[in-house]
Chains A and B, each alone.
Chain A
Amino acid sequence: MSEISVGRPVLEANQKLAQENRARFRRAGVRALNLISSPGAGKTTILEQTLQRLGGRLAMGVIEGDIQSTEDAERVARCGAPAVQIETRGACHLDGAMVAGALEGLDLASLDLVIIENVGNLVCPVEFDLGEDMKVAVLSVTEGDDKPAKYPVLFKEAGVLLITKLDLMPYIDCDLERIKKTCRQLNPAQRVFELSSQTGQGYDQWVDWLIGWAQDRA
């Protein structure tokens, strides 16, 4: 037996595809976000609400990832955004190859921003770069204030945290400060927005930030 030194990342094949996606976004002057949460946190509702409030100030396209069904892409398309659905047929996360395929269905030249909605899952999607500029974590208050401590990798990697369903706070036992404190420990530079799609709380700030970020392509 002899030992051969390898020194190669396990995910190098995905990394290469993600870098190609990233270059493609950059050439087209498009910024990209990778939206990650558990199932039912409200990712698609956030996209709908965001599109309605953008009012054409930003040309936004959407890539929807689900294990099955095209319902989410249809919901987003009804808000007027070009949307492509990826059905992973069992896979628990999107990867660089799936996003490369989906990009064939989007006219990047006409867009400023692409939001990729990952498969609902706080674990697997974090390991797979898609070529995005930034990960955005979504956490609904009904999931509990312990989630950032239990799934720290996502909450560290995410440049933005969207805390959703704030209108339900009177009915549940959730310590918002604990969520924010844990996330500060993991990523002090993270931007946090507190949202309610029912009352509209926080959306003006989030949408203003999004427009500023998407237009800053330096």
Chain B
Amino acid sequence: MHEMSLAQSILDIACQEAARHGAGRIGRVNLLVGKFTHVAPSQLAFCFDMIKKGSVAEGAELAVTLVPLAARCPACGREELLDEPGFICPGCGEQMQATQGQELWIDSIEVEDQGPAGEAKA
């Protein structure tokens, strides 16, 4: 159950960014999660909902976009979208490098324009 520590990091970063931009309440946190990670989006959302109360993200929805696994062969340049993880190039047999699918990123947050102190958005 490492989703709780991930949810706490997401909340911390989202609240920091909202404060840094002088923004008001957070309505949505847009998260990118690679398919080649051990992160369960529904558990993550459950944990996020538990800990967001009392913060500027209290009303925020955690929106997860799953990123498919893809790899590129450094030898022959072949690129593949992978349904099953396998990193041997079907073209030349060299080891492919993952190019996407291992993300765990906060892409953006959607916020009300006015902060609690009423300052303009940076």
A contacts, CB < 8 Å to B? 1-14, 91-93, 95, 123-124, 126-128, 151-153, 156, 184-189
Q: Report the minimal beta-carbon distance from B83 to chain A, rounded to whole angstroms.
A: 12
> Given A10-B6, A10-B13, A92-B1, is A4 in contact with B85 using a C-beta cutoff of 8 Å?
no
> Given A11-B6, A13-B9, is A185 in contact with B88 using a C-beta cutoff of 8 Å?
yes
Q: Mark B98-122, 1 if CB is under 8 A from A, else 0.
A: 0000001111111111000000010
B31 at the interface (CB under 8 A from A): yes
Other than the given A4-B110, A10-B13, A185-B88, 12 more pairs (CB < 8 A) read A2-B110, A3-B111, A7-B107, A7-B108, A8-B17, A8-B106, A10-B104, A10-B105, A12-B9, A128-B2, A185-B85, A188-B87
Q: Report the minimal beta-carbon distance from B3 to chain A, rounded to whole angstroms.
A: 9
Query: What's the tally of chain B residues with a CB closer than 8 Å to chain A?
Result: 37
Q: Report the minimal beta-carbon distance from B15 to chain A, rounded to whole angstroms.
A: 11
Contact B86 A3 (CB under 8 A): no
> Given A7-B105, A185-B87, is A95 in contact with B36 using a C-beta cutoff of 8 Å?
no
> Given A124-B38, A127-B37, is A188 in contact with B6 using a C-beta cutoff of 8 Å?
no
> Given A6-B106, A92-B1, is A152 in contact with B13 using a C-beta cutoff of 8 Å?
no
B57 at the interface (CB under 8 A from A): no
- Chain B residues with Cβ below 8 Å from A10 are 6, 9-10, 13, 31, 104-106
- Chain A residues with Cβ below 8 Å from B95 are 187-189
| Chain A residue nearest in CB terms to B69 | A152
Of A2, A7, A10, A187, chain B has the most CB atoms within 10 Å of the CB of A10
Contact B109 A152 (CB under 8 A): no
- Chain B residues with Cβ below 8 Å from A91 are 5
Q: Report the minimal beta-carbon distance from A157 to chain B, rounded to whole angstroms.
A: 9
Q: Mark B56-79, 1 if CB is under 8 A from A, else 0.
A: 000000000000000000000000
Q: Can you give 18 A-B contacts (C-beta < 8 A)? A: A2-B23, A3-B109, A3-B111, A4-B110, A5-B107, A7-B106, A10-B9, A12-B13, A14-B9, A95-B5, A124-B1, A127-B38, A128-B2, A151-B38, A152-B36, A185-B87, A186-B86, A186-B87
Cα distance A124–B3 in the bound complex, in angstroms: 9
Within 8 A of A (CB), among B1-45: 1-2, 5-6, 9-10, 12-14, 17-18, 21, 23, 27-28, 30-31, 36-39
